[in-house]
Structure 1
Amino acid sequence: MGTSNALVIAGAGLAGAKAAEALREEGFDGPLVLLGDERERPYERPPLSKGYLLGTSEREKAYVHPSRWYGDHDVDLRLGTAVTAIDPAAHELTLADGSRQGYAKLLLATGAAPRRLSVPGAELDGVHYLRQLGDSDTLKETFRHATRIAVIGGGWIGLETTAAARAAGVEVTVLEAAELPLLKVLGREVAQVFADLHTDHGVEIRCGVQVGEITGTLGHADGVQLADGTHVPADAVIIGIGVVPNSRPAEDAGLEVDNGVRVDAQLRSSHPDIHAAGDVANAFHPLLETHLRVEHWANALHQPATAAKAMLGQDVAYDRLPYFFTDQYDLGMEYTGYVAPGGYDRVVFRGDPGSREFLAFWLSDGRVLAGMNVNIWDVVEPIRALVTSGRTVDTARLADPGVPLAELV
């Protein structure tokens, strides 16, 4: 069994690596163990569907730290080492090889896994998910040889992989169950912008459809059969229908789990010596006064510093607003804030959304809940200030490009 006074991080993605970094920066000089189930050292995931998939960014740039960083900072990085069980009473982990690792404090940074599609043919060759570096490598190779692909799911992963496929000259059909891609996330007004973007780039988008089967020839996918009997031919199929938090060991251990490991603003779970951060954490947000599980890069980047300080006994809370970004074709976007599905009563645009250079604000009772900047930069901070102020705003001034956002706070 490993050292029982160790701080152990389960999950060696961005959140796990940043937690290790934060613990060392905060002065912890004891045993520090970082366990990862993948064979790759910690890397960031956005490049997998953006620059690396497009071929505009090198593989090395995806990694969180240089390979020597872990040894230089006395971090015991163990790759290919999954945690299968947690014993909170004994402060002990069981690993996939049957060995045990003790801990004084534990951080769960186990992330999430792609939600699997349960239809006939889903296990055929040529059916792809995107979560790991190797998946991105496979898709790049697929784009070199495929003439046409079908993308099941019109969320961020589905649309970003669609944009990369089109950049490679591949024909794409997007199959989405809702009335518009991103409808649940952005609402109808702004979701339409992204639907138009892809249509303008030659993508066929079929909304309101249900997948009945993935068809195949000689064990390889050759299309998608819809529930209405329509067949969509494809040389490969990409499935992007969301993710599921990797919280099973926590649930089996008796920790409170509800759409991820439920933690407080200090990122502490129902057991005082176990914290969680990143995609697996359903954390109480003190400003928004609700629990949120945010599946975006910024949470995995910033939450670990709070978790590390809390593990070391500091009085901290994670209150940073959710933030995410996307790059598709010639559209770059940043989104700051949080809107529950259907939780807004108005969208105010500053600029023409048809020009794809605008700001959009989601409001409820005159208060700005979230803002998005599309091909307009250096405005995240004033948008964040607008959201955190909680003040009602003059919507005419909010829509007026001549009024500095800072004057509305």
Structure 2
Amino acid sequence: MGSSTVVVIGAGQAGCQIASSLREEGFTGRIVLVGAEAHLPYQRPPLSKGHLTGKASRDALWLRPASWFEEQSIEMRTSTRVTHLDTGDRRVLLQNGEALTYDDLVLATGARNRRLRLEGADLEGVLSLRTLDEADEVKARLEQAARVVVVGGGFIGLEVAATAVRLGKHATVVEVADQIMGRVLSGHTAAFLLRAHRARGLEIELTTMVSRIAGVAGRVAAVDTTDGRRFPADLVLVGVGANPNVELAEQAGIELDDGIVVDELLRTSAPHVYAVGDCACAPNPFAGGRRMRLESVQNATAQGRRLAATLAGRPEPFSSVPWFWSDQADIKLQIAGLTTGHTEVVVKGDANSERFSAYCFSQKRLLGVESVNRPADHMAARRLLSGSTSLSPQDVRRDNFDIKRASTGSAPVAP
């Protein structure tokens, strides 16, 4: 391990985790971390919440200080883009003409926000939020805006909209589907969030499609919808999903399918090339083994740790329980497992008190648990899903059901 070189393309959560975990695994070879942004690796979750309000300081965003990269002998290349990948000669070409040779290459290229292909999408004041620079612009414009329209009712859109309301702005979310966060949440939890946000002053328009964005003198003025309504706006945030950054892999002839296809060891179709994080489409045991791409800090971190162990000589299939969280206003939403495709939901707790957990089942098999303001339930659900204890809807419906006991295997289950 002492003489080999690992090059990591992408300096986000996954890329930084790879570099960190390689050193923790005892890897003493050369590590080069290549990032397109000018910044050191940073946390993304605070960008749509605390960073916008000023509660999260800029210094608290960095995953590691600059001195750490020097101490760990990790070559950190910021403001650097890779222009070509040659898997035959095992080298990558940088925009400055430099060639980096590697023994193993990790693609941690992440994803980029989808753009609206509508009239007015390029007006001043129409923004998206994924990077720190984008968050800085949203923050600056949000301070001056009176009316905010968010296109898309997903994680980022709702977090920013809720933050805008807390800052005293008039905020409206326009969502084309018939529920918010429809790709990841059960109908029960989505309906609760809809009521909770509206009660806090956020306007949410479902089954509403944007037809164009109107402007005055090159600056955004309103969002028009296909049903003839107009929502005035000083700031429009677009949050309609993301596409994986696969251009380098595509150029190199690496297999793609909604991301860079990898196996259970996170290997791509090219020898000595791996992929992790938002760009990787990996087999997931919590989705019946089918390949899928997960956009989450947990997935990026867990895959980074697992791949570092593999590169250090301890290969094991990746099988971490997926989990997600979202802080929206004073609501903490946490999801353990993958609840899409569920056919039955059992709720424990009281939605009126804004503290409950929704257990999502398919064919009597627990897929995942959605928890609102019940972090202990969430932690227990992660333990439960990672173990061998089976749980039925009947078990959860019992008056004396305790997920903490169930997660340790000590709770009785129905015959």
| Fold shared, TM-score > 0.5 on shorter chain | yes
Task: State the alpha-carbon separation in 1 of the partners of residues 118 and 65 from structure 2.
Answer: 41
Cα displacement string for residues 307-347 of structure 1 (whole angstroms, at most 9, x for unaligned residues) = 1122233221211111111111121121100133xx11111
Residues 356 and 372, structure 2, Cα contact 8 Å, conserved in 1:
yes
Task: State the alpha-carbon separation in 2 of the partners of residues 279 and 99 from structure 1.
Answer: 27
Task: State the alpha-carbon separation in 1 of the partners of residues 388 and 344 from structure 2.
Answer: 16
What is aligned with 2:362? 364
CA shift at 1:189, angstroms? Answer: 1.7
Residues 390, 210 of structure 1: alpha-carbon distance in 2 compared, 3 angstrom cutoff: farther
What is aligned with 2:87? 88
Judge which range, 374-383 or 129-138, deviates more: 374-383
What is aligned with 1:304? 304
RMSD over aligned CA atoms reads 1.7
Task: State the alpha-carbon separation in 2 of the partners of residues 67 and 209 from structure 1.
Answer: 46
Task: State the alpha-carbon separation in 2 of the partners of residues 83 and 246 from structure 1.
Answer: 12
What are the within-5 Å matches in structure 2 for residues 176-325 of structure 1? 176-288=175-287, 289-325=289-325
What is aligned with 2:159? 160
What are the within-5 Å matches in structure 2 for residues 21-100 of structure 1? 21-100=20-99
SS of the residue corresponding to residue 89 of structure 1 reads coil
What is aligned with 1:375? 373
CA shift at 1:394, angstroms? Answer: 4.3
Task: State the alpha-carbon separation in 2 of the partners of residues 101 and 206 from structure 1.
Answer: 50
CA shift at 1:387, angstroms? Answer: 2.9
Residues 350 and 356, structure 2, Cα contact 8 Å, conserved in 1:
yes
SS of the residue corresponding to residue 180 of structure 2 reads coil
> Any unmatched runs of 5+ in structure 1?
none
Task: State the alpha-carbon separation in 2 of the partners of residues 246 and 310 from structure 1.
Answer: 24
SS of the residue corresponding to residue 136 of structure 2 reads helix
Task: State the alpha-carbon separation in 2 of the partners of residues 327 and 130 from structure 1.
Answer: 16
SS of the residue corresponding to residue 221 of structure 2 reads strand
CA shift at 1:354, angstroms? Answer: 2.7
Residues 368 and 386, structure 1, Cα contact 8 Å, conserved in 2:
no
> In structure 2, what residue type is equivalent to 1:350?
K
SS of the residue corresponding to residue 376 of structure 2 reads coil
Residues 339 and 369, structure 2, Cα contact 8 Å, conserved in 1:
no
Task: State the alpha-carbon separation in 1 of the partners of residues 319 and 333 from structure 2.
Answer: 22
Cα displacement string for residues 74-105 of structure 1 (whole angstroms, at most 9, x for unaligned residues) = 11100011122211111011222333211110
What is aligned with 1:328? 328
Cα displacement string for residues 235-278 of structure 1 (whole angstroms, at most 9, x for unaligned residues) = 11000001111111101111111111111111111123011111
> What TM-score comes out, normalization by structure 1 length?
0.95
Residues 322 and 336, structure 1, Cα contact 8 Å, conserved in 2:
yes
Q: Between the two proteins, what is the percent identity of the paired residues?
A: 36
SS of the residue corresponding to residue 334 of structure 2 reads strand
> In structure 2, what residue type is equivalent to 1:326?
S
Task: State the alpha-carbon separation in 2 of the partners of residues 182 and 206 from structure 1.
Answer: 13
Task: State the alpha-carbon separation in 1 of the partners of residues 222 and 123 from structure 2.
Answer: 11
What is aligned with 2:135? 136
CA shift at 1:393, angstroms? Answer: 3.2
Cα displacement string for residues 188-224 of structure 1 (whole angstroms, at most 9, x for unaligned residues) = 2211111111111111111111111111001100111
Residues 146 and 236, structure 1, Cα contact 8 Å, conserved in 2:
yes
Task: State the alpha-carbon separation in 2 of the partners of residues 389 and 309 from structure 1.
Answer: 22
**Would you identify which runs of 4 or more consecutive aligned residues in structure 1 move more than 6 Å?**
none
Residues 310 and 316, structure 1, Cα contact 8 Å, conserved in 2:
yes
> Any unmatched runs of 5+ in structure 2?
410-415
> In structure 1, what residue type is equivalent to 2:27?
F
Residues 36 and 81, structure 1, Cα contact 8 Å, conserved in 2:
yes
What is aligned with 1:118? 117
> In structure 2, what residue type is equivalent to 1:346?
E
Task: State the alpha-carbon separation in 2 of the partners of residues 368 and 322 from structure 1.
Answer: 14
Residues 350 and 400, structure 1, Cα contact 8 Å, conserved in 2:
no
CA shift at 1:292, angstroms? Answer: 2.0
> In structure 1, what residue type is equivalent to 2:354?
R
Cα displacement string for residues 100-158 of structure 1 (whole angstroms, at most 9, x for unaligned residues) = 21111001111110011110110110001001112222222222111111100000000
Residues 84 and 248, structure 2, Cα contact 8 Å, conserved in 1:
yes
Judge which range, 110-119 or 82-91, deviates more: 82-91
Task: State the alpha-carbon separation in 1 of the partners of residues 276 and 234 from structure 2.
Answer: 38
Residues 273 and 311, structure 1, Cα contact 8 Å, conserved in 2:
no
Task: State the alpha-carbon separation in 1 of the partners of residues 318 and 392 from structure 2.
Answer: 30
Task: State the alpha-carbon separation in 1 of the partners of residues 123 and 363 from structure 2.
Answer: 49
> In structure 2, what residue type is equivalent to 1:12?
A
Task: State the alpha-carbon separation in 1 of the partners of residues 322 and 399 from structure 2.
Answer: 24
Q: How many residues of Structure 1 are paired with residues of Structure 2 in the alignment?
A: 404
CA shift at 1:182, angstroms? Answer: 0.9
Task: State the alpha-carbon separation in 1 of the partners of residues 168 and 382 from structure 2.
Answer: 38
Task: State the alpha-carbon separation in 2 of the partners of residues 300 and 191 from structure 1.
Answer: 25
Judge which range, 382-391 or 38-47, deviates more: 382-391
> In structure 2, what residue type is equivalent to 1:272?
P
What is aligned with 1:355? 353
